[in-house]
Structure 1
Amino acid sequence: MSALFNNYSRRPISLIEGKGTIVKDSNGKKYLDFTSGIAVLCLGHAHPALVKALQEQSEKIWHTSNLYEIPTQVKLAESLVKDNHLSHAFFCNSGAEANEAAIKMARKHTGKNNIITFENSFHGRTFGAMSATAQEKIHSGFGPLVDKFTYLPFNDVEQLKNSIDDSVAAIMLEVVQGEGGVNSVSEEFASAIHEICSNSDILLIIDEVQTGIGRTGTRFAFEQTVLKPDLVTMAKGLGGGFPIAGVLGTSEIYETFSPGSHGTTYGGNPLGVAVSQTVIDIVFQDSFLDEVNEKSMYLVNNLKESFPQDQFTIRGKGLLIGIDFGNELVAPYISILEDKGLLVCGAGANVLRLLPPLNVGYDELDEAVRILVEAIVK
């Protein structure tokens, strides 16, 4: 028996080395990594620029408390809110922490408690974030949840409109539900949310933990919609593999994030900020994002040509792609694909999720499709 708790259903693989999209296990076997640490390694494994940034910062200072000014945090915040309607940032360590902060600030700012979230959402596993997550399997066994979350069907305009009243502090959603099945917000639903939040004192929180930092082909997924969030949460790709997360907000939220309202010991530490700044400097280039979209179109077209449309549905945005198997379970295929040298993950029971690094090569996309077809298509 391992000295570790058994809270993860781990795959029987120990990855010990990685470069770009290729990883190697303890037996020397190589794989194409199309999980990217679940959308974390946006620039792949051991990207030279990130390694250099971390090494250089480690020789200066590793940690300083947020009791003191950290100029590199300011620079990173400015990079993240440049050319959008957001104006300020708070840095923490994980997506769940970012969502906890956003939930707290929405309640504090509005003076109201009810937050609307959506079925098949995933916002984290801390108590507030877990309570925001509208999935019974995430709640089971933990007793009373944090109160005042209303769960509604995703993309159901009528039910959303019927649930709006004076108790609602915020609407919280993912533009693409990554864990919940790679489900994208519809234009009609996004327009309804935008209208509701624009004409009331209801805030809009967008969870970009998985979709942000170029994953869907734009800096943030909300930029492809009419949505104008008051708060945006982010993590995963923000550090390219180094733990860092954050919340972006509008100027109206500034006074709510007052001294003592929220905090974190490690959030925005110099190591994380140095790596994240390097990620942003690369990923937020228009030419880089154009390539993500070109690769997305290439991959999606190849998958649609290769998978029978009467059996499978291909969906997603950017390089967050889902292959929907209908009623068939995907778990057995994940094992088969591992044996053939391709690492992927699920998105619910019936959807296979592809999350390659954003700088994946076209030859690697071709190889992944070849392995997928060989393993799955009957």
Structure 2
Amino acid sequence: MSEPTWGERYAGSLMNTFGPPKTTLVRGQGAHVWDADGKEYVDFLGGIAVNALGHAHPALVEAVSTQMSTLGHISNFFASEPQVELAEKLLSLLGAPGKVFFTNSGAEANEAAFKLTRRTGRTHVVAAEGGFHGRTMGALALTSKEAYRAPFEPLPGDVTFVPYGDQDALAAAVTDRTAAILLEPIQGEAGVVMPPDGYLATARAIADEHGALLWFDEVQTGVGRTGRWFAHETSGVTPDIVTLAKGLAGGFPIGACIGVGAAGAMLEPGNHGTTFGGNPVACAAALAVIATIESEHLLEHVTVLGQKLRDGLAADPRVTEVRGEGLLVGLDLSAPVSAHVAAAAMAHGFIINNPTPGRIRLAPPLVLTTDDVDALLAAWPAILDDAMAAGS
């Protein structure tokens, strides 16, 4: 009797929340990974915008190893140097005074922000259709997708969903009982949907008119992903709340809820807590990621390489639209064959994502190289050929 495969062992021991895995990965280097059969892939998904420095980056390995050998975990009865330094650094990058609450994930960061909005004395939140904010009960209440929500209703209520980018609908939904407006500066899970010009500024004005908080979920777009520290920077808007996670520590679990100005003082002792949030190792990892982005000039690199990638993908007529900023890229296909495109890409040695039947999403490591992009663009016509044939 043959030994069970990794896939069979996975199916026999893990809850079926993700479906069968595409393959079993065993190691990575830069933007490349290898599976248990030795096949190499260029990782254009980056753990869904998480592996900012790719895999096994020496700065991240060193930071985690050194911190773990020094001080691995303390309770939040105590402070640690990495925790304080990271909070100060995030506020500096944001360019606004405030306070930070550290968590372990984006969903948890959004849970903290959701609780913060209740401290206004109001309960109503206006969020966008197509937005994704996590799968915990609170975060799920803020996520519009019916398939995610229906099995777990009733969810925490008093949430109104409006079409993303529709300024009139946003203005009509927000009232003097609204606690917060929640938006992604670029919608990631929906397939990299860009806001219309002026939309975020209009949201700021609407929030101000009604005394509501403006909350930007930058879990996927933050920490250099778009060629800027925060995607909302291009709007000139200062939000009241920013949530971060994913790429912040390059693969080490961390999230952050930043309350800007007065919002930073709204959660008081006893209002919220976490055992692992602000862990010294996670904070050291995040500091290493930020320092590496700065020292390796990755914001500029991401901007230039992202433009090359988008231009190259758009050159094929079977791609009807390409969107995004930096290395967060979404594209529409001329046929609903995105699952076949993702499968064909894997066969050709590239990992990409199909968030909807007609869309592809790319969120590779910020250390992606020009050679990596050239390799995908060279294979792109054949990938589409295979996908179109499989979907016909």
TM-score relative to the length of structure 1: 0.96
| Structure 2 residue ranges without an equivalent (≥5) | 1-10
Q: Secondary structure of 1:199's partner?
A: helix
Moved over 6 A (4+): none
Are 1:8 and 2:21 counterparts? no
Q: Which residue matches 1:342?
A: 350
Matched residues in 2 for 1:230 and 1:314: separation? 31
Structure 1 stretch displaced more, 232-241 or 289-298: 289-298
Distance 1:327 1:284 in 2: 40
- Give the partner amino acid of 1:317: E
Alignment of 1:26-41 (within 5 A): 26-41=36-51
Higher helix proportion: 2
Rounded Cα–Cα distance in structure 2 between residues aligned with 1:204 and 1:340? 43
Maintained 8 Å contact 2:123/2:179:
yes
Q: In the alignment, which residue of structure 2 is the partner of 1:360?
A: 368
Is it true that 1:317 corresponds to 2:328 in the alignment?
no
The aligned counterpart of 1:93 is 104
2:152 is matched with 142
Q: Is the 8 A contact 1:157 1:188 kept in 2?
A: no
Alpha-carbon deviation of 1:61? 1.5
- What's 2:88 paired with? 78
Residue of 257, 263, 266 corresponding to 1:253:
263
**Whole-angstrom CA distance in 2 between matches of 1:20 and 1:219:** 21
1:370 aligned residue: 378
**Corresponding position of 1:224:** 234
Give the Cα–Cα distance (whole angstroms) in 2 for the partners of residues 16 and 142 of structure 1. Answer: 34
| Identity in percent | 38
Identify the residue that residue 7 of structure 2 maps to in structure 1.
none
Q: CA deviation at 1:20?
A: 0.3
Q: Distance in 2 between matches of 1:13 and 1:154?
A: 35
Separation in 2, partners of 1:175, 1:253: 19
Tell me the alpha carbon deviations over residues 263-302 of structure 1, each in whole angstroms, 9 at most, x when there is no partner: 1000011110111110111224593211110111111122
Q: Quote how far apart the aligned CAs of 1:312 are.
A: 1.9
3-state SS of paired residue (1:258): coil
Distance in 2 separating the partners of 1:262 and 1:275: 24
Matches within 5 A, 1:1-378: 1-83=11-93, 84-108=95-119, 110-284=120-294, 287-305=297-315, 307-308=316-317, 311-376=319-384
Cα deviations by residue, 1:12-54 (Å, 9 ceiling, x for unpaired) = 3000010001100000110101110000001100100000111
Gaps of 5+ in 1: none
Contact 1:87 1:250 in 2 (8 A): yes
Contact kept, 8 Å, 1:219 with 1:284, in 2: the verdict is no
Q: Deviations over 1:200-259 (max 9, x none)?
A: 311011001000000011001011113211010000000101001111121302331211
In structure 2, do the counterparts of structure 1 residues 44 and 346 end up closer, same or farther at CA, with 3 Å as the change threshold?
Answer: same
Work out the CA distance in 2 between the residues paired with 1:100 and 1:139.
16
Q: How many residues align?
A: 375
8 Å Cα contact 1:86/1:248 also seen in 2? no
User: Could you tell me how far apart the structure 2 residues matched to 1:62 and 1:16 are?
Assistant: 25
**Matches of 2:182 and 2:334, distance apart in 1:** 27
Using the size of structure 2 for normalisation, the TM-score is 0.92
